[in-house]
């Protein structure tokens, strides 16, 4: 025997094909069909095998094929056109330039922090909706020209790949990411040297702390750079190199370390790159430690005390919460968090327990857990949920942080999520839409008038395009099943695979993270009734499921197992299919290829849910509980609602009621409507709903609209307030802090002594109710407060329904710190009404009227 020495040969890229490498390094290609077509033409089978990764494709392609393409005039013309399109995209005028002026970006950068980013399946640093939303946010920020950078983590193994055993139980595997094979580049300085930063963590041994060094990789997303932090470097010991190994993996200690790396390390990396952001947007609470690092930097730079530096830093912080489910909000036990807060607190002049107070729901409750969303809210000036309904739930969930305020007035707003249209709209449909909506419709995606022209597409043309997508879906599922079966060593009968799914049958899709509250098996509650629906003569129905459960979510894994088992048994064999290893590539196929997109969460636990938006863009009809975005999207004729927005305290009863409602919806509405055909074989009424789905969902639920709202409602005000708070040696921040300290010190003596109605309690409509109140302000002046009339319809437990506010004017100084205020309540609607009087601190530099978090009621 002789020794075998292995080696690998990479192809040489011919000079004529050099633009293929340049284009691959900008993830703009992921939402540009002509660019993706270039890589598919190199080797379609290989392109699929490498998860549509153009860098790896070019490394593994045969030299013969590359040389052929270098001599192919048609291919070279297409390559030149795509290269020119990329240059034009990067150079063209943008919405941001037109709205704020060419030099507006000089006012400051926005840094968007997220634990995960779903830009494309070839960059596996995402798990699901949160990451895909973050990726879509970057893409639309690029399209709009927002001065934004992304900050995340370069997970060496990414999120897990899913494999189902013969019983349908989910198993996880973590293939390593080789960053040299991905469309990223190392972050270097101007001399080509690697840029490093570091964070301090509690030590494992005798020392007080340990230093973890970080390098970074840069993924270019159009105009937007995305920096991914990486601890897997030789300078770190093995246990610290593993801190950036897996997304949402490891124990709680591992998790809090990752969140320190993201927040603190991310801010320090941007400082090392001289990309000092004025605004930091925290996409969920995972990155909230960034607030403490920014305060530390301001303190070190200016010598300001913590309270002043935190006022200045908060002006530039935006926090988006993504879940009303308590388990989705990261919180750490006191004993676990304390060592980390001790290290972080030292740079802030705070003891460990003082720093812990910043993240406790009740700061004065020693030993309670440390909440990352609470830290984010306390250290930010602006906060939002991700749908109107979720905004309501977030206000109720976090009302404890604004004691004395009705939940409806908690200053947590909402920006409803959207999706990046060029990424999620099927390429063939995009071409079809462009023929009727205009070639620039993607750039005008947020304009309702553009999408209204969908009605002009002939029914037969739209339906033919839809049928082609269904046929492609069935073909791809069959091919995927064959490949996965071969990989597992299971010999599948080719004839059985070819019988799997019917492209002519009504096809319902359900694909998302398998959390128990999403109720993926709601349709299986009555197997006999479901079987009748699926097998009704001449009106067949089939179900396609996909999705992953968190590795520690045993309930979610059981849901997957139950679906797989149902699909393997009669009478559901061939009618229920579970597609393994859900990722963005699978999602694109599903949201474009099914007829109905099913969503069955327990209201109000779905914060937003963007998969239905993707489906709606493609003419797929949503059938959903009225939760998340769907109460805003449902128009009666653009999809279907399951129930009417009921909420059930008894979840078992609610599941039963809504399962029955879903069966009735299928039997009485969805199935008959789909199979109602005219003499041309077209389901005219169904197609009409498809057009309404596209026309209503397209303009309202895209990230162009969403990113504009963030820019106008959050980023620009934050940029301006941060500028005011930090200029002139933090003069404005110091003034606000001094004012707050004076108000808080005097607030104990503020009271409403009396309230009097000036006139009868029974009034004719239109005649205002006049009210006077005597307020004891003590040492405070009337200019320090706003006295308000809070009025509305009487509700339960003393609350007011539909409450509004009217400011009272200062009428006279009564002496001794007492003042008289007078005001009026307009009267329009008859019936019983009620009011209260309250005093709120007021200062022109506050970001919102309740920012002082003090209120005194009568």
Q: Three-state SS for 562? A: helix
Tell me whether strands 785-794 and 834-841 are parallel, antiparallel or unpaired.
antiparallel
Element (H, E) at 428: helix 427-437
What values do phi and psi take at 812, rounded to 5?
-165, 155
Helix locations, 4-94, DSSP H: 18-24, 33-42, 44-49, 54-60, 63-70, 73-91
Q: pLDDT at position 326, please?
A: 75
What values do phi and psi take at 531, rounded to 5?
-60, -40
Radius of gyration of the chain (CA): 29
Q: pLDDT at position 692, please?
A: 97
Average pLDDT over residues 498-510: 92
Dist CA 609 CA 130 (whole Å): 9
Q: pLDDT at position 830, please?
A: 85
DSSP summary character for residue 201: E
Report cis status (omega within 30 of 0) of the bond before 571.
Answer: yes
Of all residues in the chain, the percent with pLDDT exceeding 70 is: 98
Dist CA 264 CA 199 (whole Å): 7
Question: Of how many residues is the chain composed?
Answer: 858
Q: pLDDT at position 168, please?
A: 93
Q: What is the torsion angle, in degrees rounded to the nearest 10, for the CA atoms of residue 615, residue 620, residue 626 and residue 627?
A: -10
Dist CA 415 CA 391 (whole Å): 8
The per-residue pLDDT of the chain, averaged, comes to 94
- Encode 102-136 in three state secondary structure: CCHHHHCEEEEECCCECCCCCCCECCCHHHHHHHH
Tell me whether strands 800-807 and 785-794 are parallel, antiparallel or unpaired.
antiparallel
User: In this structure, what token pair is assigned to residue 12?
Assistant: 């040489």
Contact criterion met (CB below 8 Å) for 114 and 46: no
Q: pLDDT at position 609, please?
A: 92
Tell me the per-residue pLDDT of 283-319, one tens digit each, with 9 for 90 and over.
Answer: 999 999 999 999 999 999 999 999 999 999 999 999 9
Dist CA 670 CA 676 (whole Å): 10
Q: Which of 392, 417, 410 is nearest to 604 (CA)?
A: 392
**What angle separates helix 33-42 from helix 427-437, to the nearest 10 degrees?**
150
**Confidence band, pLDDT 50/70/90 cuts, at residue 144:** very high
Q: Which of 307, 111, 127 is nearest to 224 (CA)?
A: 111
**Confidence band, pLDDT 50/70/90 cuts, at residue 764:** confident
Q: Which residues lie closer than 8 Å to 407 by C-beta, 6 or more apart?
A: 395, 396, 399
Q: Three-state SS for 634? A: coil
Neighbours of 586 (CB within 10 A): 19
**Confidence band, pLDDT 50/70/90 cuts, at residue 812:** very high
Q: pLDDT at position 106, please?
A: 67
424: left (phi over 0), alpha (psi -120 to 50) or beta: alpha
- Encode 674-736 in three state secondary structure: HHCCCCCCCCHHHHHHHHHHHHHHHHHCEHHHHHHHHHHHHHHHHHHHHHHHHHHHHHHHHHH
**Confidence band, pLDDT 50/70/90 cuts, at residue 396:** very high
* Position 99 pLDDT exceeds 70: yes
Q: Which of 518, 570, 527, 505 is nearest to 546 (CA)?
A: 518
Q: pLDDT at position 763, please?
A: 84
**Which residues are bridge partners to 318 per DSSP?**
281, 382
Q: pLDDT at position 5, please?
A: 66
Q: pLDDT at position 182, please?
A: 95
Dist CA 158 CA 156 (whole Å): 6
Q: Which of 79, 71, 68, 75 is nearest to 24 (CA)?
A: 79
**Which residues are bridge partners to 577 per DSSP?**
544
Contact criterion met (CB below 8 Å) for 319 and 377: yes
Dist CA 446 CA 426 (whole Å): 18
Burial 258-297, CB ≥16 within 10 A → b, else e: bbbbbbbbbbbbbebbeeebbbbbbbbbbbbbbbbbbbbb
Average pLDDT over residues 29-42: 96
**Which residues are bridge partners to 543 per DSSP?**
508, 576
Tell me the per-residue pLDDT of 2-23, one tens digit each, with 9 for 90 and over.
Answer: 676 665 667 899 999 999 999 9
Dist CA 228 CA 216 (whole Å): 5
* Position 205 pLDDT exceeds 70: no
Tell me whether strands 148-153 and 224-230 are parallel, antiparallel or unpaired.
parallel
* Position 497 pLDDT exceeds 90: no
Dist CA 619 CA 602 (whole Å): 25
Which residue reads 């080509």 in tokens? 192
Q: pLDDT at position 802, please?
A: 84
User: In this structure, what token pair is assigned to residue 501?
Assistant: 């799914």
Tell me whether strands 382-385 and 413-414 are parallel, antiparallel or unpaired.
parallel
Dist CA 561 CA 551 (whole Å): 14
Contact criterion met (CB below 8 Å) for 683 and 460: no
* Position 574 pLDDT exceeds 90: no
Neighbours of 386 (CB within 10 A): 29
User: In this structure, what token pair is assigned to residue 323?
Assistant: 């879940």
Dist CA 281 CA 283 (whole Å): 6
The model's pTM: 0.95
Tell me the per-residue pLDDT of 617-636, one tens digit each, with 9 for 90 and over.
Answer: 999 999 999 999 999 999 99
Q: Which of 179-188, 428-437, 788-797 comes out lowest in average pLDDT? A: 788-797
* Position 448 pLDDT exceeds 70: yes
Contact criterion met (CB below 8 Å) for 595 and 582: no
Dist CA 812 CA 583 (whole Å): 67
Dist CA 139 CA 124 (whole Å): 17
- Encode 802-852 in three state secondary structure: EEEEEECEEEEEEECCEEEEEEEECCCCCCCCEEEEEEEECCCCCCCCCCC
**Which residues are bridge partners to 541 per DSSP?**
506
Q: Three-state SS for 12? A: coil
Report cis status (omega within 30 of 0) of the bond before 182.
Answer: no
Tell me the per-residue pLDDT of 750-763, one tens digit each, with 9 for 90 and over.
Answer: 999 999 998 887 88
Average pLDDT over residues 611-619: 97
Contact criterion met (CB below 8 Å) for 543 and 578: no
What are the C-alpha distances in Å from 684 to residues 678, 687, 805? 7, 5, 50
> How many CA atoms lie within 13 Å of 23's alpha carbon, on the beta-carbon side?
30
**Confidence band, pLDDT 50/70/90 cuts, at residue 496:** confident
Neighbours of 47 (CB within 10 A): 20
Q: Which of 279-283, 466-470, 812-816, 830-834 comes out lowest in average pLDDT? A: 830-834
262: left (phi over 0), alpha (psi -120 to 50) or beta: alpha
Average pLDDT over residues 684-706: 97
Average pLDDT over residues 727-738: 94
Q: Which of 136-140, 609-613, 648-652, 824-828 comes out lowest in average pLDDT? A: 824-828
Neighbours of 179 (CB within 10 A): 17
Dist CA 89 CA 135 (whole Å): 18
What values do phi and psi take at 188, rounded to 5?
-120, 165
Tell me the per-residue pLDDT of 149-163, one tens digit each, with 9 for 90 and over.
Answer: 999 999 999 788 999
Q: pLDDT at position 766, please?
A: 83
Average pLDDT over residues 21-33: 97
Dist CA 297 CA 310 (whole Å): 10
**Confidence band, pLDDT 50/70/90 cuts, at residue 50:** very high
Q: pLDDT at position 105, please?
A: 60
Q: What is the torsion angle, in degrees rounded to the nearest 10, for the CA atoms of residue 250, residue 251, residue 256 and residue 259?
A: 20
């Amino acid at each position: 025997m002789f020794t075998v020495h292995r080696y690998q040969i990479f192809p040489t890229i011919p000079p004529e094909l050099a633009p293929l490498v340049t284009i691959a390094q900008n993830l703009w290609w992921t939402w540009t069909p002509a660019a993706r077509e270039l890589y598919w033409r190199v080797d379609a089978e290989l392109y699929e095998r490498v998860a549509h990764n153009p860098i790896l494709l070019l490394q593994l392609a045969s030299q013969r094929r590359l040389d052929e393409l270098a001599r192919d005039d048609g291919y070279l013309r297409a390559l030149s056109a795509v290269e020119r399109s990329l240059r034009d995209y990067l150079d063209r005028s943008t919405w941001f330039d037109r709205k704020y002026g060419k030099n507006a970006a000089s006012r400051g950068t926005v840094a968007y922090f997220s634990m995960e980013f779903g830009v494309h399946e070839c960059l596996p640093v995402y798990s699901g909706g949160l990451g895909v939303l973050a990726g879509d946010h970057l893409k639309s920020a690029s399209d709009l020209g927002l001065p934004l950078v992304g900050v995340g983590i370069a997970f060496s193994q990414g999120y897990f790949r899913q494999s189902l055993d013969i019983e349908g139980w989910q198993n996880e595997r973590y293939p390593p990411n080789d960053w040299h094979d991905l469309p990223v580049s190392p972050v270097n300085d101007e001399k080509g040297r690697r840029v490093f930063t570091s964070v301090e963590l509690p030590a494992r041994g005798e020392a007080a702390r340990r230093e973890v060094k970080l390098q970074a990789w840069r993924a270019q997303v159009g105009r937007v750079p995305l920096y991914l932090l990486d601890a897997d470097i030789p300078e770190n010991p093995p246990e610290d190199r593993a801190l950036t190994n897996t997304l949402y993996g490891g124990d709680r200690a591992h998790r809090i370390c990752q969140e320190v790396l993201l927040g603190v390390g991310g801010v320090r990396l941007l400082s090392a790159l001289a990309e000092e952001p004025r605004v930091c947007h925290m996409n969920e609470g995972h990155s909230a430690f960034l607030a403490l690092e920014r305060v530390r930097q301001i303190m070190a730079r200016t010598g300001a005390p913590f309270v002043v530096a935190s006022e200045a830093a908060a002006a530039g912080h935006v926090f988006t919460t993504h879940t009303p489910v308590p388990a989705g909000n990261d919180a750490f036990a006191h004993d676990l968090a304390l060592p980390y807060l001790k290290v972080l607190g030292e740079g802030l002049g705070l003891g460990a327990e003082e720093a812990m107070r910043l993240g406790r729901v009740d700061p004065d409750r020693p030993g309670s857990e440390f909440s990352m969303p609470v830290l984010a809210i306390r250290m930010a000036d602006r906060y939002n949920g991700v749908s109107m309904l979720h905004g309501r739930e977030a206000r109720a969930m976090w009302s404890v942080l604004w004691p004395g305020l009705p939940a409806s007035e908690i200053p947590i707003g909402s920006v409803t999520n959207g999706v990046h249209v060029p990424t999620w709209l099927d390429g063939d449909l995009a071409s079809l839409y462009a023929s009727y909506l205009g070639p620039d419709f993607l750039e005008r995606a947020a304009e309702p008038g553009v999408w209204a022209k969908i009605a002009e597409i002939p029914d037969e043309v739209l339906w033919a395009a839809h049928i082609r997508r269904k046929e492609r879906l069935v073909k791809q599922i069959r091919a995927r099943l064959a490949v996965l079966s071969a990989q597992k060593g299971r010999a599948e009968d080719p004839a059985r695979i070819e019988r799997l799914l019917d492209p002519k049958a009504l096809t319902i899709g359900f694909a998302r993270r398998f959390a128990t509250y999403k109720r993926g098996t709601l349709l299986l509650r009555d197997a006999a009734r479901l079987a009748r629906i699926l097998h009704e003569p001449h009106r067949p129905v089939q179900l396609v499921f996909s999705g992953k459960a968190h590795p520690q979510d045993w309930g979610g894994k059981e849901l997957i197992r139950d679906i797989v088992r149902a699909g393997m048994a009669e009478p559901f064999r061939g009618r229920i299919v579970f597609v393994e290893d859900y990722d963005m590539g699978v999602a694109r196929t599903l949201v474009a290829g099914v007829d109905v997109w099913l969503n069955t969460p327990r209201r109000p636990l779905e914060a937003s849910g963007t998969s239905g938006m993707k489906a709606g863009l493609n003419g797929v009809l949503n059938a959903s509980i009225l939760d998340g975005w769907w109460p805003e999207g449902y128009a009666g004729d653009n999809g279907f609602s399951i129930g009417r927005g009921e909420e059930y305290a008894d979840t078992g009863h609610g599941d039963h009621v809504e399962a029955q409602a879903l069966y009735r919806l299928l039997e009485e509405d969805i199935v008959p409507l789909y199979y109602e055909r005219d003499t041309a074989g077209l389901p005219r009424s169904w197609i009409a709903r498809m057009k309404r789905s596209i026309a209503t969902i397209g303009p309202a639920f895209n990230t162009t609209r969403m990113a504009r709202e963030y820019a106008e409602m959050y980023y620009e005000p934050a940029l301006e307030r941060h500028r005011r708070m930090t200029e002139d040696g933090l003069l404005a921040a110091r003034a606000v802090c001094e004012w707050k300290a004076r108000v808080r010190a005097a607030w104990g003596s503020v009271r409403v002594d009396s309230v009097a109605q000036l006139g009868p309690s029974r009034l004719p409509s239109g005649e205002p109710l006049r009210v006077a109140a005597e307020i004891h302000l003590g040492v405070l002046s009337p200019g320090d407060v706003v006295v308000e009339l809070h009025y509305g319809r009487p509700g339960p437990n003393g609350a007011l329904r539909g409450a509004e506010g009217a400011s009272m004017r200062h009428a006279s100084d009564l002496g001794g710190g007492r003042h008289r205020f007078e005001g009026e309540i307009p009267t329009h609607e008859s019936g019983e009404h009620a009011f209260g009087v309250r005093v709120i601190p007021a200062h022109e530099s506050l970001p919102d009227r309740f920012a002082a978090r003090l209120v005194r009621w009568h």
